[in-house]
A = this chain, B = another copy of it.
Amino acid sequence: MGGNTLGKIFKITSFGESHGDVIGIIIDGIPAGLEIKLELIQKELNKRKPGQSKISTSRNEPDIVKILSGVFKNKTTGAPICLIIKNKDTKSSKYEKYKNLLRPSHVDYSALKRYGGNSDYRGSGRFSGRITAGIVMAGAIAKLILKEFKIDIFAYTKSIGDIVDNQNYNLDTLYEIEKQREMSIVRCLDANKSKNMIEVIENAKKENDSVGGIIKCIVKNVPPGLGSPIFEGLESNLSKAIFSIGSIKGIEFGAGFNSTKMKGSQHNDPWIIKKGKIETVKNDSGGIIGGISIGMPIEFQIAVKPTASIGQEQKTVDINKLEESVLTLTGRHDPCIVPRAVIVVEAMTAIVILDQLLYEGKIPLIINSKEKN
């Protein structure tokens, strides 16, 4: 049981509930000597925060990060860092009335069976998307370290419902692309597709319905040779972490499911020498072969299901009376969580890549140290 700690060296421990006092995260195993820029953590949190746009939930939370431990004179000490945000805009009463009605495709029944009816059900408690704020805070710190080693992580919305952006973006210009992405409230990189995606979400919202989509994530400059097969390969560790984000139902690396329709002669990525460096002509392997990085960008795609909470009347069961019933949810929900999940995927990816680098001894315990490490 348990299961709220992830990682082998860079270990994160998640705690808090949607309508409890706080959402928090502990980071242990962080190298000492890293300068912590609070405003960068806050910036990441702001991107995930509810109520950013007309297509997101109306829950109003400032989500101001507070550091409880592990930072001294603005630097990491090597001790565990505890980061929290407070829960302020909690309207718990409405959850009382649904208490006995199992929300379709929601955790009510699984949680009942798992925790014997003791779960905090207010705002979905521990299963709320709000828990991912902890991931975003830890990810922000992981990104700070990765940046020192020139490793960049970038995710964006590839599809919402039927609207798919199939373009291949120039990875050399990630930073400009990020600005472009943040100008779109759906985090799509193409202005026209973006408009269409927003429309799809707004239509779903009007119909008290919801939609899903696909997130693409790219990691640049991971050195070749990272990964510890057979069980600690990169695909294994990335997928484990990514599936811990709610509503994710699929992941594929490189050509992924499309590869199943390709011949080996099409799918294989020929090796070449480019500016004295060994590369592949294309990247259908997604930068990972045999669980180990090859130095090409790591690329993967993630399926996000439509939000389970919808305002339409749904058939369900009253768990108390043990009889069939109907349920119409009111309340504040994102009609599509893809745009906010983009930020969570980036954070989780940063955490996994950093942990793997530390696990394989590729990042020292002390950063920028005068002491020999």
CB distance from A312 to the nearest CB of B (A): 5
Task: Tell me if A50 counts as interface (CB < 8 A to partner B).
Answer: no
Task: Contact check, B125 vs A3: say whether CB atoms are below 8 A apart.
Answer: no
- Report if A229-B161 is in contact (Cβ < 8 Å); known contacts: A26-B15, A289-B107, A316-B270: no
Task: Tell me if A339 counts as interface (CB < 8 A to partner B).
Answer: no
Task: Tell me if A174 counts as interface (CB < 8 A to partner B).
Answer: no
Task: Contact check, A227 vs B114: say whether CB atoms are below 8 A apart.
Answer: yes
User: How far is A323 from B278 in the complex, measured between Cα atoms in Å?
Assistant: 9
Contact of A79 among B15, B78, B204, B254 (CB under 8 A): B15
Interface size on A, residues (CB 8 A): 161
| Chain A 13-32 interface mask (CB, 8 Å, partner B; 1/0) | 11111001110101011111
Chain B residues positioned under 8 Å from A17 (CB to CB): 69-70, 72, 77, 79
Task: Contact check, A315 vs B272: say whether CB atoms are below 8 A apart.
Answer: yes
Task: Contact check, A28 vs B13: say whether CB atoms are below 8 A apart.
Answer: yes
Task: Contact check, A114 vs B78: say whether CB atoms are below 8 A apart.
Answer: yes
Chain B residues positioned under 8 Å from A159 (CB to CB): 260
Task: Contact check, A259 vs B212: say whether CB atoms are below 8 A apart.
Answer: yes
Contact of A24 among B69, B131, B228, B310 (CB under 8 A): B69
CB distance from A47 to the nearest CB of B (A): 20
Q: Which residue of B lies closest to A226 (CB)?
A: B114
